[in-house]
Copies of this chain bind each other. A is one copy, B any other.
Amino acid sequence: MSFNTFGHMFRVTTFGESHGPALGCVVDGCPPRIALTEADIQPFLDRRRPGQSRFTTQRQEPDAVRILSGVFADPATGEQVTTGTPITLMIENVDQRSKDYSAIANAYRPGHAGYTYDVKYGVHDYRGGGRASARETAARVAAGAIARKIVPGLNVRAALIQIGPHKIDRDRWDWDEVTRNPFFTPDAEMAKTFADYLDGVRKNGSSVGAVIEVIAVGVPAGLGAPVYAKLDADLAGALMGINAVKGVEIGDGFAAAMLSGEDNADEMRMGNDGQPLFLSNHAGGILGGISTGQPVVARFAVKPTSSILHPRRTVDRYGTETELITKGRHDPCVGIRAVPVGEAMVACVIADHYLRQRGQVGEAPEWPFPKQPSA
């Protein structure tokens, strides 16, 4: 990972600020001959797009993606496919409203990146958070839409499972429900609680955190590597790298610390398909940094946004103490829009490891092994 590049074989370089002319990404290393048009990407951006309910920021951005390079409509088929060269995705910024940033131009929002950008770079595009804006995640979601097309049979889905103190009941988990409510939550009952709760938070000018769970099915066994390219390590880095994320878990996560070895071990039997059947999935689909073929399960916690109407004590870039209220359009719960972002990051990590595994090992070994090795 370079400063703004993610991945090794499937590499995503994002660019752009909240209030610049455009943002986007360059996807390098994508395999050729994959059907790809804007229509494959736009639906994912639409899910992440703000302003779709009263629970997310009211900034109005069409987030229309445009493919600038890396595809070609093969005349032999008429179908537009990837060419193996870099795919550039651009999203123009439309609703910047650069009007009045005088309040935050110099004073740091507590909990926000303004101070660290200033002390690192000595300069900071403070308009809308600049590069630290959650708008950057649109580029990730766009890249994730391509990543999904690389691994055959892969299905990456995420769901919001907690807002503030309210956690879903996993027994009511219904994937269809995720598409029906504005919280991407699988628990229809809890969606009502979330709505009431967030209305209060919003009216109060406050904000609150959330927890999201990502589940990837169809991950081939054998992705990852023993030491520094562990699949779980790369997932942890990818998810912790999403704006405002403060915690990441794989499988049982922190709860695993309380388990005994015999409870934690996922026992194995032979499945009808001749492949191993795990009797549980405490490991979250990853052992020794390598995928087992079970669903890969990850969770991440999103902190509440620092853009709130409550006055907070702070300092400005000249070293003067002051107080700050953040007016303007904001998300009472930024965790909601992190759901499609989490999916995208997991898809990118898996696509990258899929290509790396194919590179190093080529065709997967046939398992189980024959008892008598061929001479």
Contacts and interface: CB of A to CB of B under 8 A. Distances in A.
Contact of A207 (B15, B81, B245, B261): B261
Given A13-B13, A122-B33, A266-B110, A241 B228 contact: yes
Instruction: State how many copies of this chain the complex holds.
Output: 4
Given A164-B258, A233-B237, A237-B233, A120 B72 contact: no
A270 B2 contact: no
Interface in A271-316: 274, 276, 279, 282-284, 286-293, 301-308, 310, 312-316
Nearest to A12: B228
Contacts of A108: 268
B319 A117 contact: no
Interface stretch (A41-49, A130-138, A175-183): A130-138
A209 B259 contact: yes
A136 to B, nearest CB: 6
Contact of A261 (B210, B221, B238, B305): B305
A287 B120 CA distance: 11
A241 to B, nearest CB: 3
Given A2-B8, A26-B26, A83 B130 contact: yes
A82 to B, nearest CB: 8
Given A2-B11, A13-B86, A274-B319, 5 more contacts: A15-B26, A116-B291, A232-B245, A247-B250, A256-B304
Interface string A14-30: 11110011111010111
Contacts of A252: 246, 303
A30 B3 CA distance: 10
A229 B16 contact: no
A121 B14 CA distance: 25
A39 interface: no
B226 A1 contact: no
Contacts of A26: 4, 13, 15, 26
B248 A288 contact: no
Nearest to A238: B233
A356 interface: yes
Question: Which of A77, A255, A262 neighbours the largest number of chain B CB atoms within 10 Å of its CB?
Answer: A262
Contacts of A317: 367-369
Contact of A226 (B117, B259, B315): B117
B257 A302 contact: yes
A269 B313 contact: yes
Contact of A68 (B22, B29, B245): B22
Contacts of A234: 1, 237
Smallest CB-CB A-B distances: 8 pairs? A113-B288, A359-B359, A122-B365, A237-B237, A319-B368, A207-B261, A233-B241, A236-B240
A149 interface: no
Interface string A63-98: 000101110101111000111111110100000000
